[in-house]
Amino acid sequence: MSFCVSKLSALSIQACGSRHAHKNIESVGRKETGRFEIYLHTVANELTVEAVENDCSHIVFEDLMHIRRDLPEAS
């Protein structure tokens, strides 16, 4: 039997813990992933509804990384 003393965190539980602890951590991860996927689905549906309501023929996405740096007036 191994013994480990560390801060209580997902990483320390997984590193020191049992298979049960590892399964619990995986379960939480799946729940968070599921919630995020539901959120993204909801946002996509809302964008589609808004596009239809405004007679848009296209929905275009672009990479907005560094937009504030590239367009200082866009703050």
The domain limits of the chain are 26-74
Q: At residue 58, does pLDDT exceed 60?
A: yes
Q: At residue 21, does pLDDT exceed 90?
A: no
Q: Which two tokens stand for residue 68?
A: 């504030």
Whether pTM exceeds 0.85: no
- Structure confidence at residue 13 (pLDDT): 52
- Structure confidence at residue 9 (pLDDT): 52
Question: CA-based angle 43:75:58, to the nearest 5?
Answer: 40
- Phi first, then psi: give them for residue 7, nearest 5 degrees: -65, 150
What's the mean pLDDT in 48-75?
Answer: 84
